[in-house]
Structures are given as structure tokens and as C-alpha cells.
Structure 1
């Protein structure tokens, strides 16, 4: 194992008409870490340290809409937009090929990018959110998943912004507690995440991810053809998928039919005793699993 330690960098780069701010560590092959909701790039701090020591250039951008990343006021938040963000980020970093690590909405972004440009990725590693029709089916047929996913429907309402902001974004902390039961993040780290949501435009943008995904509008955005393909089309990039068995956001059974959608390789690990934020709850174990996969042994 390479043990060289790097200082954490901060920087910005323009990609897909968005000025992305990012944190990064290391030198070598690009490993792009994509965060989800309600979160920010700093939640990949354990992965930045671990994989930079293994010889990767690890970059975690603040995703579209998450300050300090900046975008136009009329920006949209379809999964296809996220896919183009990822592909253009690679090009802006001067990479022609990379590995993706995506959690929650970052997993959606990774799937979308792999549909859009499979030749640019040697592998995708996704956490906590599966690919394919399983979740949509569960939202129709499973009362248990419907209860877990109450927030999806709540976020479509007119008063979601007010409720999200109430009591200094207490709902953000409550979602973390519900989704990773039995685990309490350090107070300083949760305070930093709540502070991210208090920045101008972040809460509205975060809700827009769900409104674009679940709204009743007939529009699919400027990348409508790609948007129709994502979630249905098989992905030609090998995937390694991890899910916590205590996940309070998405039940792990929802991922049971993923394998057939990855004809070039699929690995799955159910991580015992952890919830939705498994890469933070058990970073050493999760990082070791991912490293074994990336080395070709898992």
C-alpha cells in the first residue's frame, strides 16, 4: 500500500455550465466521489484520505445546487443533467477515464453518467440507492417502502421549503437519524451540513432534485432522450453496490433485481449493522470492501 499522505485541496472548475467547487486529495487515477441528500462533499473525507493513500486522485465536488458550487438560476435537476455534469467534470479535470463512487443522489448521477458515456468509466461503486425499476415498483407495491419514502411526496408540496428550514434545518438532522438509526454523527459535522442547507439556494435546489424526478410535468428537460434511458437501459460498466441492512431510507430488498442490468459485471455487499450513511458509519470496513473490488478481487 502506498502511504504517501496529501493535504486536502480546495478548488473550482467549470463543467456543463456549472462552476463546481470541490475538495480533493492525492495523485493518480481519478476517483470521483458524488454526494447525495441531505449532505455535502465533506462527507467523503474518509474516502479522500484512504484512497489517496492507495494512489488515487480523489475528488469530491459539491453537487449541482449545493453551495459553494454555482449555477444559473434557470438550471434544472434531472438525472440526465447530473450525468452530463459528471462526464464534463472528467473532461475539465483532464481525464479520459475514471472510477465513480456515488452515494444516494450521487449514485443516480453515477448510473446516469455510465449510461451516457460508458467508455469513460472502468467501474462505478454505488451506495444505498439501487439502479433500475425496483424502487419505483416498491413505491407502488410496498407499504413499508411507502412509509420510508414519505419525504419524497412531502417535498412536492408548497410548504416543503418552510418545513425544511424550520428550527435551523432540524429536519435535515432528523432524516439522518431516521435513515441511519442507532448512529449519531459528531455534532460539529451535523452542524456543518445544516449550515450548508442554510446557504442561499441550497434547500430549494435540493428539493428540486425530487421535484424534477417525481413531478407530473410532461417535460423531461433538454436531455429528454437520455432521461428516458436512465433506469431502464442496462449499464455496460461493471458496478459494485453496497447497502446497509439497517437503512431507514430504502430497504435493501429493493436492490434484489439489479444484477441483470449490469451484464459486464456486478457485485453486491449487504453491510450488517449500518444504515443509509454506511461510508460514514463504518468507513474502515466500507473502504476496505471498495478497495478489494477496485483491486479486482471482489
Structure 2
């Protein structure tokens, strides 16, 4: 049975955050966090499975996506990792959740990792696609050519041609990434269109471009976040019970990337590789994703 999704909005930090909420208000709280170029619909089936197990599920549109909006036109349209993590904590405060299981992939996995590292008292359990806190100091070090080729879109966004390309061809570019990163996922046009509507957010391009430039040290971040970025630069460990999930067919962050991640986690840790699945793990393998979350939530 599908969960009943209620679209809500709340002022939280610098944003008016749009989010979906499902399940009983007294259920075990779970926050599901999407990445780029995806949105809340990556978790539709996962949410239904979790609600059936008694969870309260909140799934926000990240800054620059969907109906989430900045409250002040003067606020920097930052896409840096610290900004996204502060957005999450502000949302938890705004909806009255003191602690929850955090589960995400791509940008969402990074957000969940940062919250777990810097605010462990707010996190009961972590599901992510590895330890993905950015080591910006080492971002200029070259990688093997095969790995570099997987990040072509990031380098494209470093120039103004990439900004113009994302502005003009945002749907075509994002659909290409879906197809490339999840070669075994036969999604239909309606599935993509449902998510692609989120890319029409007026801040989508600025947030995405800033994200992929800041992580390489090519543009400054929001000065108000310098203290948080300094903490992240130490590459902090995570003391939260963690399950990492990896799609065996993921062509942008293959499971080999996380093979040496164990040392970053100081609590219980389990690494799972899901056969035939690509980058969008919760939408491609919702039962595997929901089972991992459920095992930490209940």
C-alpha cells in the first residue's frame, strides 16, 4: 500500500523548506535526503515501505530544488557541503525532531555524513553511500584517467560554458546523467519528468554550479559557514551506527571507492553492495534501502 504523501513547508534557517511528510507523528523519525540531479521522488516507494513499519518519514527538497526557496534575496546561493548540512539541522529544529535516522545518497549521503560527524546527538543511525565528506584541500590532486572521465560534468560546470549548458539544457543534461550512472535502470519518461520539474527552481543552476566549484576550491563559500568548513577540513570521524549502500553498477561512484571507508566510522558499521543497481539506489532498489533504514530506526 502506498503511503499518503503530504506536501508541507516550513521556515528553517535561511530557507522556506518544502518537504513531504508521511506516517504517524508518533512514529520513529526518519529523514530521507536526495542528491543531484534527483529529488524527493527518489524515495516514493522507500517511504511507503518505512511508513508500513511505523516510521515517520520526512523528505525535504534541498536548496535549489522543487518548491524550496530562499527567504532573503541577498542570501548567497551556496551549494557548499556546510550549507546543505546546516539546512538539515535547521529543518529538524523547525519540525521539532531532536534526533532521527538520516538516510541519503549523492548530496544527501554527504549531508547525512556531515550531520552525523558534527552533530552526533541529532542522529540515531546513518545510511549513506560511503564516507563522502569533501576533502577540499586535496581536490586538486589528479585521479586515474578512468576515474577523472566519470566526473566530466563537474569539470564542465567549472566554466561559464557549463553554467550556460545547465541553464539551457538542464533536463537533457540531467537525463543523460541518470542514464549514464544507472545503466540497468529502465526508467520511463514520466518518472524522469516527475523529478525534472524540480530543476525549474529559480536557484537550481546557481546552487549546483556553486557546489561543483566550491568543492574544488575554485570559488569562496558563504563566510558565515567558515567555522563549519574548518571542522570538515579535519575529515572528522563518524560515531553513529552506519550502513553504507552501494550499487554494483554505479558508474560515477562505483563501490570500489568505499572499500577503505571503515576507518572513518567508530561505531557499528556494515557495508552492503547491491547487485545490478546504479547510482540512484533508493529508487532502483527501494526494498534494500528501506530495510537498511528500518534496521537502524526500529
Q: TM-score, normalised by structure 1?
A: 0.89
Alignment partner, residue 84 of structure 1: 86
Displacement after TM superposition at 1:102 (Å): 1.1
- C-alpha distance in 2 between matches for 1:221 and 1:94: 28
* Greater mean alpha carbon deviation, residues 138-147 or residues 13-22: 138-147
Displacement after TM superposition at 1:139 (Å): 6.5
- C-alpha distance in 2 between matches for 1:219 and 1:130: 18
2:32 pairs with 1:33: yes
- C-alpha distance in 1 between matches for 2:178 and 2:23: 29
- C-alpha distance in 2 between matches for 1:24 and 1:271: 27
Alignment partner, residue 43 of structure 2: 44
The alignment covers a number of residue pairs equal to: 292
Alignment partner, residue 184 of structure 1: 186
Displacement after TM superposition at 1:184 (Å): 2.1
Alignment partner, residue 228 of structure 2: 226
Q: Which runs of 4+ in 1 moved over 4 A?
A: 131-134, 136-139
2:4 pairs with 1:7: yes
From 125, 142, 145, the equivalent of 1:123 is 125
2:73 pairs with 1:70: no
From 249, 263, 266, the equivalent of 1:246 is 249
Alignment partner, residue 291 of structure 1: 294
Q: 1:264 is paired with a residue of what secondary structure?
A: coil
**Which has the higher relative contact order, 1 or 2, with Cα contacts under 8 A spaced 6 or more apart?**
2
**2:101, 2:296 within 8 Å by CA — same for their partners in 1?**
no
Alignment partner, residue 108 of structure 2: 106
From 17, 21, 25, the equivalent of 1:24 is 21
Q: TM-score, normalised by structure 2?
A: 0.89
Displacement after TM superposition at 1:222 (Å): 1.6
Displacement after TM superposition at 1:6 (Å): 4.6
Q: Show structure 2 runs of 5+ residues with no match.
A: none
Displacement after TM superposition at 1:261 (Å): 0.9
From 142, 147, 150, the equivalent of 2:149 is 147
Q: 2:101 is paired with a residue of what secondary structure?
A: strand
Displacement after TM superposition at 1:223 (Å): 1.9
**How has the CA–CA distance of structure 1 residues 271 and 6 changed in structure 2, closer, same or farther, with 3 Å as cutoff?**
closer
**1:103, 1:129 within 8 Å by CA — same for their partners in 2?**
no
2:261 pairs with 1:258: yes
